[in-house]
Structure 1
Amino acid sequence: MISDNIAKGAQHLADALRYNTTLTTLSLWKNQIGDNGAQHLADALRYNTTLTTLSLWKNQIGDNGAKYLAHAFRNNKTLTTLHLYENQIGDNGTLHLADALQYNTTLTILDLRYNEIGDNGAEHLANVLRNNTTLTTLHLYENQIGDNGAQHLTVALRNNTILSTLNLGRNQIGALGAEHLADALRNNTTLTTLHLSWNKLGVLGAEHLADALRNNTTLTILNLEYNQIGDNGAEHLANALQNNTTLTTLDLKHNEIGKKLEDRLKTLMQRNGQGTKS
């Protein structure tokens, strides 16, 4: 009964959105609208021409709800930001969203954190990212894409010329996934921010990323906190940064790095413009 009433509330909002010409941001954080509520909002988005930001965090939206929303923003010309943080979209729902991105020409920020997305979902996103020319920010924090998912995204990053921020924190990515991402970073010229916190990169993963930083000239922010990098991994990064002058922020908190290497990395980051966090 409660869920039905919430869905009806979403329907009332959707009815108003069809003809509203002033509202640009709608946030429905933690309202349990579910798939039915998502369907009502999606129907409204087919007609609305002013909404630019839609936040549906923690709303128990599954793959069916994602399908409804995907159908709506396939042709929507105004929505630029879609937050779907902490729902249950999964790989199937991600497929629907990826299909829509092939046609959508306005969405620039897609937030899919905490959505039970695995390597298949990452592959769906990678397939569309190869040719997408509008999405600049993709948040995939706290999913389960793993090394295989990282490899799929790597292939996309070799061709993508617009994505500037990629968040892959807490995704069970190890040294092999870091190697794949490093391969992409060597030639990618658009990515400026990469978040890899709370993964399992270790010393070897840090070494792979360090090798890429010797050639990369666009990445400015790299977050590697909680990755068991240690002094050996930090030394690889410090050696690479001797010649890299574009990375300005390096987050290495909680990696058991000694003070000597901390100071060395801080000096290198200060030379580049900001500082390191450790």
Structure 2
Amino acid sequence: GAASLLDMILYYESTTHLDISDNGSMGTSCWRALAHLIKQSVRLSRLDVCNVPLVDYPAQSLSKALLTGRLTALHLHNAQLSGVPLYTLSALRSNKALIELHLTDNQLNSYQDALQLGDLLRYNTTLQTLQLSNNEVADALEELCDGLRHQTAGLKVLLLRNNQITAGGMVHLAKALDLGENLLGNEGIQVIREPLMQNTSVLQLGLAKTDITCEAVALAEFLAESHQIEQLDLCHNEVKVGGLMALCLALRINSSLTTLD
């Protein structure tokens, strides 16, 4: 039934966003039809395959389709990608169409998965958003950040919320674009302060629930200097009166910020 439906979607070419999440019982014929749809469709731009284990044939089939597919957004939340499945999706490195890749809740670790993600960022030049929230990357981020250093005009947003990143990991992530809900604290803010001041590409900075108190003053200095920052998230932090006063002064100077949480 699913294979027939996918064939019809390809025939009529009217679908731009396809969501087949929560269908863990899809068989080989369905995955074959999905791969054919991805490779042939000129309209399909976004695919959601969430809460579906992408292991063995499904991962192989999707990887081959991504070699020539025109998808610009791919959502693979909770797809059990840690280990071999992520390695199988090696076509992502050479894909030239994908702009957004969302990989939340996949238990991606700081060992072999970090190596694969580093390779992805090292070789892919078109990806602009990489969503890695709610994984287990932790502080072993050297490979991931080595890949980031090869990004010159591609990646614009890197989301690493809830990855147990501490101030130690911030040494490698000083140039990262968006770090939220990690154990960052005031020490970590000092680590990323200078790189942020020099950065000319950060559009969104998410620092929710990161134990920031008085060092909100350092963020205010960055805000006053930045000409491109658009969104700043400081939710669930005790920035206190001094931090709020500094932020208020910075807002009088900054002309790019549109959202402050």
Q: Structure 2: which 5+ residue stretches go unaligned?
A: 1-22
Q: Are 1:14 and 1:43, in contact at CA under 8 Å, matched by a contact in 2?
A: no
Task: Tell me the distance in 1 between the aligned counterparts of 2:253 and 2:121.
Answer: 38
- 1:173 to partner: Cα distance: 0.8
Task: Tell me the distance in 2 between the aligned counterparts of 1:198 and 1:35.
Answer: 37
- 1:226 to partner: Cα distance: 0.5
Task: Tell me the distance in 2 between the aligned counterparts of 1:184 and 1:35.
Answer: 41
Task: Tell me the distance in 2 between the aligned counterparts of 1:194 and 1:10.
Answer: 40
Residue matched to 1:118:
138
Q: 1:226 to 1:4 in 2, by over 3 A?
A: closer
1:30 aligns with 2:51: yes
Residue matched to 2:102:
83
- 1:138 to partner: Cα distance: 1.3
- 1:57 to partner: Cα distance: 0.9
Which amino acid counterpart does residue 180 of structure 1 have in structure 2?
A: V
Equivalent runs, 1:1-278 vs 2, <5 Å: 5-6=25-26, 8=28, 11-13=31-33, 15-17=35-37, 19-22=39-42, 23-34=44-55, 37-46=58-67, 48-69=68-89, 71-91=90-110, 92-121=112-141, 123-132=142-151, 133-154=153-174, 156=175, 166-203=177-214, 205-251=215-261
Task: Tell me the distance in 1 between the aligned counterparts of 2:35 and 2:96.
Answer: 19
Q: 1:114 to 1:244 in 2, by over 3 A?
A: same
Task: Tell me the distance in 2 between the aligned counterparts of 1:25 and 1:247.
Answer: 29
CA-to-aligned-CA distance 1:165-218 (integer Å, 9 cap, x gap):
x33221111111111222122111121221111111122x21221233343332
Task: Tell me the distance in 1 between the aligned counterparts of 2:125 and 2:138.
Answer: 26
Task: Tell me the distance in 1 between the aligned counterparts of 2:191 and 2:199.
Answer: 13
Which amino acid counterpart does residue 181 of structure 1 have in structure 2?
A: I
Aligned residue pair count? 236
Q: Are 2:72 and 2:99, in contact at CA under 8 Å, matched by a contact in 1?
A: yes
CA-to-aligned-CA distance 1:17-50 (integer Å, 9 cap, x gap):
474233332211212334653233113323x332
CA-to-aligned-CA distance 1:223-275 (integer Å, 9 cap, x gap):
10101212232123234444434334321xxxxxxxxxxxxxxxxxxxxxxxx
Task: Tell me the distance in 2 between the aligned counterparts of 1:202 and 1:64.
Answer: 41
Q: What TM-score do the two structures reach when normalised by structure 2?
A: 0.79
RMSD: 2.5
Q: Structure 1: which 5+ residue stretches go unaligned?
A: 158-165, 252-278
Q: 1:214 to 1:67 in 2, by over 3 A?
A: same
Q: Are 2:77 and 2:105, in contact at CA under 8 Å, matched by a contact in 1?
A: yes
Structure 1 window deviating more from structure 2 (145-154 vs 171-180): it is 145-154
Task: Tell me the distance in 2 between the aligned counterparts of 1:9 and 1:54.
Answer: 21
Which amino acid counterpart does residue 63 of structure 2 have in structure 1?
A: A
